[in-house]
A and B are shown apart, each in its own frame.
Chain A
Amino acid sequence: MKLSIHDRLRRRDLLQLLGSAALALPALELFEGAARAQTSTTSKFAVFIYTPDGVNQNAFWPTGNTNSFQLSPILSPFEPFKDKILILGPQMNGNSPIGGTGLTYCTGCGGTVGADHVPLQHQAVVCLSGRGRGSSGDIPYISPQDSAVNKLDGPSVDTVIGEAVKADSPFATLNFGIHPVGGDTPSDINFADDGTPLKRMSTPDEAWNRVFGMPVMSQSGSLADQHKLTALSNYLHGRFAGLKPQLSAYDRQLLDGHLSSLRTYEDRKSKQFKMQTSGCTQPTKTAVPTDDTSIRTGSDTQMLAPFYLDIISSAFACNISKVASVSFGYPGGGDAGGLRMPWLGFNDPMHFVSHHGADQAKLDKYMKMSQWIASQIAYLMSKLAATPDGTGKTLLDQTTIYWFNRHGDGDAHSNTNLPNVILGGTGGYFKMGRYLQLPATNPTKVLISIANAMGVNLTSFGKDAFKDTAPLAGLTG
């Protein structure tokens, strides 16, 4: 069946799209049917960027006032995007944030303890889920070997949004992790509908193959692949069915979850994916060093971050997903490994510099690491700004980026003055280009606001002390 004039891919575009994979032209026949490919006028996108370990509070907050402000050293990479930033700051005393103001986990809890004697400030806060771990009634955190126990009772907000706006994109969300060597341990950021912690893509190959390894790009002939997938699916579903009656209640649930994931995977593999055309290009695969020394020193992160961000930009352009997240490192991170940035001139992991003890040398490194992450987000913004969304706007216009942290000041593991920022055009939903100084505010409100910005009407989110039922007032204007 011939392509219509409107959705025919030019050969040049296709080869650019497929990169070095030499594919015979007959693959064009796969782009059949009506021009589904255009992004709908209401398509919006969201990116959640997580960094652990707080920030150098002396170098994060702008000066000036709501509509006329000067960016701090850490935020300086966003200078070209000042009209597309919304800083959710604390109230300030001169140049210092007032503790207990701004985005604060568990407002009013400070210093008090929960029923199991865990001070609520020190609970592991599950940032995108509006929950704490270790408070009474919540699920304690056990080391990853028993991670099934670390299920929450529901999804993180990125999953909620991703599932709601997915439409015919193959992925509800794309989750990336820097820098878990040996494969990801399940996330404390991303959770599936049933509360299962979600893994993040952790290597460049894994990410590239997952996102771009659509059947349409298969070289081996799609019909044989379909038959194989069907035969395997029949066999595997038979196994799950055959085993179920032989298992305990707990194990049935475990395997049901696995089967559900298998179905998600099979659905995606079996669809003939129709590509968005406008702006849809594929990033170069070979840019990231994967040798032992680059991984050992963490220098690969310098290439890995923009590579993942390129994938996100392309995924949005190609309608592969509308929601993505990137976790820069892990909370804590120990001594060996964790987030390092040797190209900045030092080997210290983020966690170490976050415990700055007011040492100026460490504070300086701490600032530089956060600043580099800001520069990466600015890079993403520039990629999105350069990509049309097919309706006359750019992807950046339609994207909401949320850069969020688990702590305010990493040294004291504080849960107040969180350095969280909204960026992007947000589809015109938020009034951007402002620096807000907020009283004590439940960060869950921001999660509700972002869901609303994406067209998802959340009336309540989170649990216990972290629960909220309203968006944050004042964000939309």
Chain B
Amino acid sequence: MKIRARFSKAALQPWFALMVSLAACKGEILGGQGSGNNGVPTSVSGGGADTGTSGGAGATAIDCQAPHAPALHARLLTPSQYDNTVTDLVKVDGDPAKNFGGGVATQLDDLGVELRANAAADIAHQAVLSLANWSPCVSPPADATACEQQIIDKIGPQVYRHPLATDERAELQTLFDAGVQEKDFATGVEWFLSGVLQSPDFLYQLSKLQTAEVSGKLVAIPPYELASRLSYFIWDSTPDDALYAAASSDALLDSAGLQSQLDRMLKDPRFLRGVTGFYTSWLNLGGFREVARDDPAFTTDIASSLRTSLLMSATELYRGMTPPNVSSLFSGTSYYLNGTLRTFYGLPGTDTAFSPTEMPSEERRGILTHPGLMALLARPDQSNPISRGLFIRRTILCQSLPPPPAGVVIPPLPPVAAGLSTRDRLDQHTKVALCASCHDLIDPPGFALENFDQVGRHRTADSGKATDTSGTMSGAGDLDGAFATGGDLLSRMAQSQDVKACFAQKYFEYAVSRLAADEDACSVDALKQDFVPSGDLLALVMSIANTDSFRFRLSEGTP
């Protein structure tokens, strides 16, 4: 199955960082420890185009005794969700959504509509050719009329993700009949599938109005909508029959019923898809499709192997017998390497398949020093402490940082030369006060990783000079303080409460497909309370599904 990044490369694009103050970085980092808001102005709550910012500090205090949740708007299926759903429903593969592009909350333009129309037509065509794989009845059916009913009754509710109302069913019948009328039963199936795969019922997760909704009041998300929300979060795909049955019996509305389904869903093989979805986003695995390095040995095979290996660092934790824990993510010296990668990194072993391979002498510390991640966060011919530092700040510590201040003449960097390490060349950042105000925050975590070059190899020298991975963290919660080596900092990160708290927030944001809003603060704080002491990755998923933010929405009233 092709794995793709769902979100943009925003984590690696300083340009897109939204800032609140540029006067100085110190004291202006938002988010991180204790905050339910990562400091970036939030969106989607309140309806309509948001023009204001709702910064973390200074927001009105929320009383967490009462439940809170933001408004919930229609969300497009992401490309991987679309692909997985199509595979599950009609057993058609091939990544039909590969060019849909990102944007869960996008308003579709004519090109977006066209891409989905073309995909629907292709899928329908293939599904008709392989009817036996998914249809309750085969073609040519002995009784075409009866088979038509069976297909509508099975697939209709599955693509709409709820039982069909009478008029909804009638519309589907009309469409199917028109195709049969045009030519034959197979054409009926084809038109039916082409249509439903383009329907808004299918393409969006929708929140439908309850009777007499009152603006500002919390509404419990009803069972079928909750079922979709759960399955797209946990399985990255459509609900199954058992989940629909739980929805139908209202079992999802009480905590025992919900828990029973969560237990089942996390044990299901489809859970790996949801896990893959999260880590693909968190690690920006899509970047591997475009990573070029000057080293001629860094081939497409290496790049795609590194991508697989990096993902496996996370997903394999979920396959073992022990409950997966976040501390395993940030520690360990063993990575899943295949033959290609073992050769590339000069490691022993004859196994061509991916298998655990030790890199102990290299002071590796889990995923943050994974050779693939180090290669991703680099330039073609040198490491990139700035992008690595920003990754730590944004992705690992949930902090936002502004781009360089306006009107500043950025001092010239010395070019790559013998005797000048990457770190040396960036020294201006610390020497010039204006630069240092932000770069004292960004650079140190990047420098901590300077023992890993632009293709992820370990090194102790850079341009002939010994690498220096010491530094001082500030504005970093429980990571503050000096570190003698990168390994020291990384070990601290593996124990850090702030790192765990941010991880919980990132997973939450993935689950709700948006940045944490003010109204999520109670839910996110509760999550952090649960997750930080335990680090239990399965419990995290369940906790998210149990939050008010996940199970409720704020009504915007009935128009």
Measured between beta carbons, the chain B residues less than 8 angstroms from A252 are 559
Give, as a whole number of angstroms, the nearest-CB distance from B247 to chain A.
17
Give, as a whole number of angstroms, the nearest-CB distance from B549 to chain A.
16
B129 at the interface (CB under 8 A from A): no
- Decide: A348 near B191, CB < 8 A? Known: A248-B71, A251-B207, A412-B409: no
- Decide: A258 near B44, CB < 8 A? Known: A116-B53, A117-B22, A231-B175: no
Measured between beta carbons, the chain B residues less than 8 angstroms from A295 are 289-290
Most chain-A CB neighbours within 10 Å: which of B20, B22, B43? B43
Taking CB atoms and an 8 Å cut-off, the chain A residues in 340-355 that contact chain B are: 340, 342, 346-348, 352, 355
Residue of B nearest to A292 (CB): B300
Say whether A145 contacts B12, CB under 8 Å: no
B47 at the interface (CB under 8 A from A): yes
Say whether A239 contacts B200, CB under 8 Å: yes
Residue of B nearest to A358 (CB): B412
Say whether A257 contacts B289, CB under 8 Å: no
- Decide: A224 near B409, CB < 8 A? Known: A145-B102, A249-B556: no
Say whether A248 contacts B209, CB under 8 Å: yes
A360 at the interface (CB under 8 A from B): yes
A181 at the interface (CB under 8 A from B): yes
A62 at the interface (CB under 8 A from B): no
- Decide: A235 near B19, CB < 8 A? Known: A181-B289, A249-B559, A252-B559: no
Say whether A183 contacts B407, CB under 8 Å: no
Measured between beta carbons, the chain A residues less than 8 angstroms from B377 are 335
Give, as a whole number of angstroms, the nearest-CB distance from A118 to chain B.
7
A122 at the interface (CB under 8 A from B): yes
Say whether A118 contacts B19, CB under 8 Å: yes
Say whether B292 contacts A335, CB under 8 Å: no
**A183 partner, pick from B74, B102, B199, beta carbons under 8 A:** B102
Most chain-B CB neighbours within 10 Å: which of A250, A292, A334, A411? A334
Q: Mark B402-434, 1 if CB is under 8 A from A, else 0.
A: 011111111111110000000000000000000
Residue of A nearest to B19 (CB): A118
Taking CB atoms and an 8 Å cut-off, the chain B residues in 1-48 that contact chain A are: 4-10, 12-16, 18-23, 40-41, 43-44, 47-48
Measured between beta carbons, the chain A residues less than 8 angstroms from B175 are 231-232, 234-235
- Decide: A117 near B171, CB < 8 A? Known: A146-B105, A248-B556, A336-B9: no
Measured between beta carbons, the chain B residues less than 8 angstroms from A91 are none
B157 at the interface (CB under 8 A from A): no
A17 at the interface (CB under 8 A from B): no
Measured between beta carbons, the chain A residues less than 8 angstroms from B49 are 139, 148-149, 151
Say which one of B113-121, B145-153, B248-256, B269-277 lies at the interface with A: B113-121
A202 to B115, CA, bound (A): 11
Say whether B111 contacts A119, CB under 8 Å: no
**A335 partner, pick from B114, B378, B412, beta carbons under 8 A:** B378
- Decide: A337 near B290, CB < 8 A? Known: A117-B23, A185-B102: yes
**B104 partner, pick from A110, A118, A146, beta carbons under 8 A:** A146
Contact size range, B: 35 or more
Measured between beta carbons, the chain B residues less than 8 angstroms from A268 are 110
A176 to B168, CA, bound (A): 38
A34 at the interface (CB under 8 A from B): no
Q: Mark B505-547, 1 if CB is under 8 A from A, else 0.
A: 0000000011100000000000000000000000000000000
Q: Mark A230-251, 1 if CB is under 8 A from B, else 0.
A: 0110111011101101111111
Give, as a whole number of angstroms, the nearest-CB distance from B2 to chain A.
10
Say whether A210 contacts B114, CB under 8 Å: yes
- Decide: A181 near B290, CB < 8 A? Known: A111-B407, A252-B559, A261-B108: yes
Give, as a whole number of angstroms, the nearest-CB distance from A388 to chain B.
30
A448 at the interface (CB under 8 A from B): no
A147 to B513, CA, bound (A): 12
A254 at the interface (CB under 8 A from B): yes
B305 at the interface (CB under 8 A from A): no
Say which one of B379-387, B474-482, B485-493 lies at the interface with A: B379-387
A285 at the interface (CB under 8 A from B): no
Say whether B174 contacts A235, CB under 8 Å: yes
Give, as a whole number of angstroms, the nearest-CB distance from B327 to chain A.
28
B339 at the interface (CB under 8 A from A): no
Measured between beta carbons, the chain B residues less than 8 angstroms from A335 are 12, 287, 376-379, 384, 387
A181 to B106, CA, bound (A): 18
Say whether A202 contacts B101, CB under 8 Å: yes
A293 to B114, CA, bound (A): 28
A147 to B113, CA, bound (A): 16
Measured between beta carbons, the chain A residues less than 8 angstroms from B292 are 296-298, 340, 342, 347
Q: Mark B170-194, 1 if CB is under 8 A from A, else 0.
A: 0110110011001100000001001
Q: Mark B188-217, 1 if CB is under 8 A from A, else 0.
A: 000100110011110010111100000000
Measured between beta carbons, the chain B residues less than 8 angstroms from A358 are 412-413
Most chain-A CB neighbours within 10 Å: which of B79, B198, B384? B198
Say whether A147 contacts B379, CB under 8 Å: no
- Decide: A258 near B107, CB < 8 A? Known: A116-B53, A142-B515, A359-B413: yes
- Decide: A251 near B74, CB < 8 A? Known: A121-B407, A334-B287, A412-B409: yes
Say whether A227 contacts B53, CB under 8 Å: no
Measured between beta carbons, the chain A residues less than 8 angstroms from B172 are 235
- Decide: A180 near B206, CB < 8 A? Known: A140-B41, A147-B106, A235-B195: no
**A148 partner, pick from B21, B107, B200, B284, beta carbons under 8 A:** B107
Taking CB atoms and an 8 Å cut-off, the chain A residues in 363-392 that contact chain B are: none
Residue of B nearest to A249 (CB): B559
Give, as a whole number of angstroms, the nearest-CB distance from B175 to chain A.
4
Give, as a whole number of angstroms, the nearest-CB distance from A325 to chain B.
13
Residue of A nearest to B405 (CB): A119
B351 at the interface (CB under 8 A from A): no
Q: Mark A150-183, 1 if CB is under 8 A from B, else 0.
A: 0100000000000000000000000100011111
**B74 partner, pick from A113, A254, A332, A333, beta carbons under 8 A:** A254
Say whether A255 contacts B195, CB under 8 Å: no
Say whether B101 contacts A185, CB under 8 Å: yes
Measured between beta carbons, the chain B residues less than 8 angstroms from A179 are 290
A246 to B167, CA, bound (A): 14
A452 to B43, CA, bound (A): 37
18 examples of A-B residue contacts, CB within 8 angstroms = A122-B403, A144-B103, A148-B106, A181-B289, A183-B98, A202-B99, A206-B115, A210-B114, A224-B182, A242-B168, A245-B209, A249-B556, A249-B557, A251-B206, A336-B284, A347-B292, A357-B413, A362-B415
- Add 15 more A-B contacts to A198-B109, A206-B115, A413-B404 (CB < 8 A): A110-B406, A139-B50, A149-B49, A197-B109, A227-B182, A245-B209, A248-B71, A250-B71, A296-B303, A335-B376, A336-B290, A337-B290, A340-B290, A348-B381, A361-B415
The 4 closest A-B pairs by CB, nearest first: A337-B290, A183-B101, A119-B406, A336-B287
Binding site for B on A (CB under 8 A): 110-111, 113, 116-122, 124, 134, 137-149, 151, 175, 179-186, 192, 196-203, 206, 209-210, 224, 227-228, 231-232, 234-236, 238-240, 242-243, 245-255, 257-258, 261-262, 264-265, 268, 292-293, 295-298, 331-338, 340, 342, 346-348, 352, 355, 357-362, 411-413
